[in-house]
Amino acid sequence: MANIITASRVVCAIILFFFHDINGAFLAIYAYCGISDLIDGPIARKLNQTSNIGALLDTVGDVATYVALAKILLSKHIVPSWAVIWYVSAAVGILSGGLVALARFRRFFVVHSLCGKAMGFFAFLMPFAYYMNLLIPCFAAICITATISAIETVYITVTAADPEHAAISVIGLHRDKKKSASNA
C-alpha cells in the first residue's frame, strides 16, 4: 500500500515536468505529492511494510518533485544564484553522507533527518511563497536547513553503530548512545 502511494508520487512528479508555469493544476498535483510524502512513511510503518525499495522510491519521489519545481523557477529566472549555489553545496553534503554509509555499511542510504524534513517542508512551500512574494525568506530557510541536514547526515553516518541505528537526528543518536552506555 505505502509503495503504491510513493510510486504514485513519482508518477505525479514526472507529470509536473510537463508544466511550464505554476498554475492551479500544477499546485493540485504538487499538493498531492506533498501529502503523499507525509503519509507513505507512517502507513508503511503502521502496516509493517517498510523496505529499502520504499525508502528509495521516497527519495526518488522527493527529488523528482523538487527538480520539477526547480525547472519552472529556474526557467523564470527568479531563483537567486546564491540560493542555487548554497543548496547544491548542501545537497552534495547530504549525498556525501550516503557515500559514507556505502563505505561503512556497504549500503547507500541517506538519513532522513529532522532538518531534512524541515528543509522538505520549506521546499514544499516554494510555489506558495512565489505567489505571496516570499521566495527569498523561503530560499534562506531551505538553504539553512539543508546545510544543517548535510552536517547532521554525515555526522550520523560516521558515528552510527549500524544502519538500523542511524537516528533521525543528532539528538536521538546521542540519546541512543547514552542508553547503550547505561545498559552496558
Nearest one of 86, 95, 91, 92 to 140, comparing CA atoms: 86
pLDDT band at 182, cuts 50/70/90? low
pLDDT band at 39, cuts 50/70/90? confident
pLDDT band at 137, cuts 50/70/90? very high
pLDDT at 62: 85
Residue 15: which residues within 8 A CB-CB, separation 6 or more?
Answer: 29
Cell of 115: 532538518
What are the boundaries of each domain within the chain? 1-76, 78-184
Task: Tell how far CA 2 is from the center of its chain.
Answer: 17
AA letter at 141? A
d(CA 25, CA 100): 40
What one-character DSSP code corresponds to residue 107? S
Q: pTM higher than 0.85, yes or no? A: no
d(CA 6, CA 4): 5
pLDDT at 78: 79
pLDDT band at 184, cuts 50/70/90? low
What one-character DSSP code corresponds to residue 77? T
pLDDT at 177: 52
d(CA 120, CA 123): 5
Nearest one of 73, 74, 69, 65 to 12, comparing CA atoms: 65
pLDDT band at 112, cuts 50/70/90? confident
> SS3 of 102, please?
helix
Whole-number average pLDDT of the chain: 83
pLDDT at 107: 84
Please check whether residue 24 is in contact with residue 70, taking contact to mean a CB–CB distance below 8 angstroms: no
Residues 74-79: what's their mean pLDDT? Answer: 82
Residues 64-73: what's their mean pLDDT? Answer: 86
Cα separation values, 5 from 36, 52, 110, Å:
6, 15, 20
Statement: residue 60 has pLDDT above 70: yes
Residues 128-138: what's their mean pLDDT? Answer: 88
